[in-house]
Amino acid sequence: MDASKITVAVCGDSFCAASVSDLKLTGTGQRAHFSQILQDHYGYKVMYLAHGGFGNVAIWFQIKHALDCAANVVVYNSTWAHRITLVRNEKFYAEQGLANFQYYDHNMQSTRDGIGGDESAPVLSTTNISIEHSPFFEISNEQKRAIDLYIKHLYNDNLHTTMDAWMFEYWHERIMKSGSVPVRFKDDDIGRIAYDFSAANPTFDTPFHTDRATQQQIAANIHHRIQSHFQHACAQTII
């Protein structure tokens, strides 16, 4: 199928987040992320929804946004359950979708594209490390204390990881029922190599944890999955 007629929505955290900043280890100014390669090399229409540091709740809203926009393919990643979803004011309204979430890092393509909310958005989705050290936002001491108490007394990693897995199963089914193609980033034949590279090179400093060659392979893997799906769908139609 003609790639230019296919819209690919990319949802997730840093592994799936395209950067618009200079990349020290992959070449200054290069569009080196797999989502950018899908657009530049293969010709797909790409919706950049992923944002570095986001937790699973924000990713589920990204997936819903992709389906609301009738994306043909939804590439999605899951992350650790202990990431924080912090409601900072009373302006959350479900119908606002991703506008509820602060897209805070302006080095991300998704932020530049105006996908989510600005600094006044009610929900902050981030890592525990970023709460203490992020250059993009500030957290009050009272909020930091509340998060510490939550992690210490209310959070259980096994329980919350299990519940998050159930939610991703739900959204995977929603993607399929909508007629879109779900592509799980962590599948062995898709993006698992990014995690392998990151584990072997923990100090690699690009925003998405890998070199350009790895990103090119991931883009090729996704392209192969998409084309195989539509070729099979066409064959079934002919039969």
Query: Residue-wise pLDDT tens for the chain (239 aa)?
Result: 788 999 999 999 999 999 887 666 666 567 899 999 999 999 999 999 999 999 999 999 999 999 999 999 999 999 999 999 999 999 999 999 999 999 999 999 999 999 999 999 999 999 988 888 888 888 899 999 999 999 999 999 999 999 999 999 999 999 999 999 999 999 999 999 999 999 999 988 777 899 999 999 999 999 999 999 998 776 666 55
Total of domains in the chain:
1
90 within a domain of the structure (yes/no) = no
Give the pLDDT confidence score for residue 205 in this predicted structure: 74
Note whether residue 134 is domain-resident. no
For residues 200 and 75, what is the distance between their CA atoms, to the nearest angstrom? 24
- Look at residue 57 and tell me if it is in a domain: yes
User: Is 191 inside any structural domain?
Assistant: yes
pTM recorded for the entire structure: 0.95
User: Cβ(222)–Cβ(36) under 8 Å?
Assistant: no
Domain that holds residue 107: 3-83+103-118+163-238
Residue 37 · residue 225 · CB < 8 Å: no
Would 97 be classed as within a structural domain?
A: no
What is the CATH classification number for the domain harbouring 18? 3.40.50
What's the residue count for the chain? 239
SS3 of residue 109 by DSSP: helix
**Given CA atoms 19, 204, 148, 170 in this order, what sign does their dihedral have?**
positive
- Widest pairwise Cα distance in the chain: 64
Kindly state whether residue 123 falls inside one of the protein's structural domains: no
Residues 6+ apart with CB under 8 A from 101: 54, 58, 61, 116, 117, 121, 123, 124, 125
Q: Which pLDDT does position 27 carry in this prediction? A: 61
Q: How far apart are CA 99 and CA 114, in angstroms?
A: 9
- The token pair at 176 is 């399929």
In a domain, residue 76? The reply is yes
Domain assignment present for 140:
no
Helix (H) or strand (E) holding 103: none
